[in-house]
């Protein structure tokens, strides 16, 4: 079990971001306008003299469960890849509450980006499973509102479309008569009309142009494999820079990604390599000297 420093007010943590040293975790509370504060956990440390990515991360849990501990494995992978990570405990409530809180947290992170990650910090979204849906939806909102600017989004086994009915989902749920993913969608959408909303179901959004560059990672035996890869193809067709990869079965992805009891994941090295390459690919080119 990891040891975390005593929680501090968000303002205090933002003023001293180096307190979130690599290998340690700092719990904070993020103040949101006209809302209750949201709990979050800060990972990583800004690098002196280098541009450090700042990642806003959302944990998995099929929309009805999960917390900051469940998102720890992915958050650590992101931090180990050279970023500062702000993992958010978004509310486990029906749409649109998680998305609205997620976007408010994104705006807060953008305002605090220099304090959290240093000068020139680029802002990213990331999430696994249900958190991948939240990340993708917040990315669509940021595009529609033309703010804040995003350098990229990282989607790991994202839940993107309740109506997908893909082969990978059928195979994964064949021995589960209840299907936890379908049950999660039912709780999250709460009413049929939400299933057509692009913020609730980004995988079914009719307009994907002008979104941030995207990294999509899925497992070979992943229930979300087919719908995530289909989303990646649609992003590519819309002119978005997309990197996608299918991790082999022996990597045990995505199961270990959001299992806090798994410790070091078998897929850590592979996922870390993809994350580092993605961060490097989204660095804006240095203009030639005048």
pLDDT tens-digit readout, 188-242: 999 989 999 999 999 989 999 999 999 999 999 899 999 999 999 999 999 999 9
Specify the higher pLDDT residue, 249 or 153.
153
Q: Dmax of the chain from CA atoms?
A: 65
- Predicted confidence (pLDDT) per residue in 30-85, tens digit: 999 999 999 999 999 887 877 799 999 999 999 999 999 999 999 999 999 999 99
Q: Tell me how crowded residue 39 is: count the other CB atoms within 10 A of its CB.
A: 17
- CA distances for 35 relative to 65, 102, 104, 200, angstroms: 21, 12, 9, 20
Query: Are the CB atoms for 88 and 186 separated by under 8 Å?
Result: no
The CATH number of whichever domain residue 214 belongs to comes to 3.40.50.1820
Where does the pLDDT of residue 251 fall: very low under 50, low under 70, confident under 90, or very high at 90 and above? Answer: low
The answer to whether residue 178 is domain-embedded is: yes
> Quick one: average pLDDT of 251-256?
62
> Quick one: average pLDDT of 142-160?
97
Nearest Cα residue to 158 out of 95, 56, 229, 209: 229
Nearest Cα residue to 15 out of 120, 123, 112, 121: 112
Range among 114-118, 134-138, 174-178, 265-269 rated most confident: 134-138
The answer on pLDDT for 16 being more than 50 is no
The answer to whether residue 122 is domain-embedded is: yes
Query: How many separate domains does the chain show?
Result: 1
Strand-strand pairing, 152-156 and 84-88:
unpaired
Cβ partners under 8 Å of residue 178, min gap 6: none
The answer to whether residue 2 is domain-embedded is: no
> Quick one: average pLDDT of 175-188?
82
The answer to whether residue 20 is domain-embedded is: yes
The mean pLDDT value of the chain amounts to 86
The answer on pLDDT for 137 being more than 70 is yes
Range among 15-19, 201-205, 248-252 rated most confident: 201-205
> Quick one: average pLDDT of 113-123?
94
Domain that holds residue 139: 8-281
CA distance 172 to 168: 6
DSSP state of 287: P
What is the pLDDT, as a whole number, of residue 33? 93
Helices and strands (H, E) in the chain, number of each type: 9, 9
What is the pLDDT, as a whole number, of residue 116? 95
Helix (H, G, I), strand (E, B) or coil at 4: coil
The answer on pLDDT for 96 being more than 90 is yes
Q: DSSP assignment of 121-145, as one string?
A: --EEEEEETHHHHHHHHHHHHHHHT
The answer on pLDDT for 162 being more than 50 is yes
Strand blocks (E) in the chain? 8-9, 25-30, 38-43, 54-58, 84-88, 123-128, 152-156, 214-219, 242-247
Alpha helix positions (H), the chain: 10-15, 72-80, 97-111, 113-117, 130-144, 167-172, 180-189, 225-237, 268-281
The answer to whether residue 290 is domain-embedded is: no
The answer to whether residue 289 is domain-embedded is: no
What is the pLDDT, as a whole number, of residue 260? 60
The answer to whether residue 105 is domain-embedded is: yes
CA distance 235 to 264: 32
The answer on pLDDT for 4 being more than 50 is no
The answer to whether residue 3 is domain-embedded is: no
């Amino acid at each position: 079990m990891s040891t975390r420093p005593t929680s501090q007010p968000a303002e205090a943590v933002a003023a001293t971001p180096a307190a979130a040293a690599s290998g340690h975790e700092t719990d904070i509370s993020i103040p949101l306008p006209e809302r209750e504060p949201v709990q979050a956990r800060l990972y990583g440390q800004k690098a002196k003299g280098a541009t450090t990515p700042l990642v806003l991360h959302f944990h998995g849990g099929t929309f009805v469960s999960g917390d900051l501990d469940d998102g720890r494995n992915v958050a650590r992978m992101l931090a180990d890849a050279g970023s500062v990570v702000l993992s958010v405990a978004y509310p486990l409530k029906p749409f649109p509450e998680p998305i609205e809180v997620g976007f408010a947290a994104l705006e807060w992170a953008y305002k605090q980006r220099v304090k959290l990650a240093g000068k020139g910090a680029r802002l990213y979204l990331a999430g696994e499973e249900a958190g991948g849906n939240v990340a993708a939806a917040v990315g669509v909102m940021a595009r529609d509102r033309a703010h804040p600017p995003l350098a990229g989004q990282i989607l790991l086994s994202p839940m993107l479309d309740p109506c997908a009915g893909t082969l990978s989902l059928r195979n994964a749920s064949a021995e589960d008569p209840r299907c936890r993913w379908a049950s999660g969608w039912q709780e999250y959408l709460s009413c049929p009309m939400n299933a057509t909303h692009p913020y609730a179901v980004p995988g079914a959004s009719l307009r994907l142009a002008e979104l941030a560059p995207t990294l999509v990672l899925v497992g070979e035996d992943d229930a979300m494999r087919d719908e995530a890869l289909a989303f990646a193809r649609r992003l590519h067709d819309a002119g978005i820079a997309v990197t996608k990869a299918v991790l082999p079965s022996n990597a045990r992805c995505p199961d270990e990604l959001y299992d806090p009891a798994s410790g070091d994941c078998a897929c850590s090295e592979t996922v870390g390599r993809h994350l580092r390459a993605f961060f490097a690919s989204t660095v804006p080119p240095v203009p030639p000297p005048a």
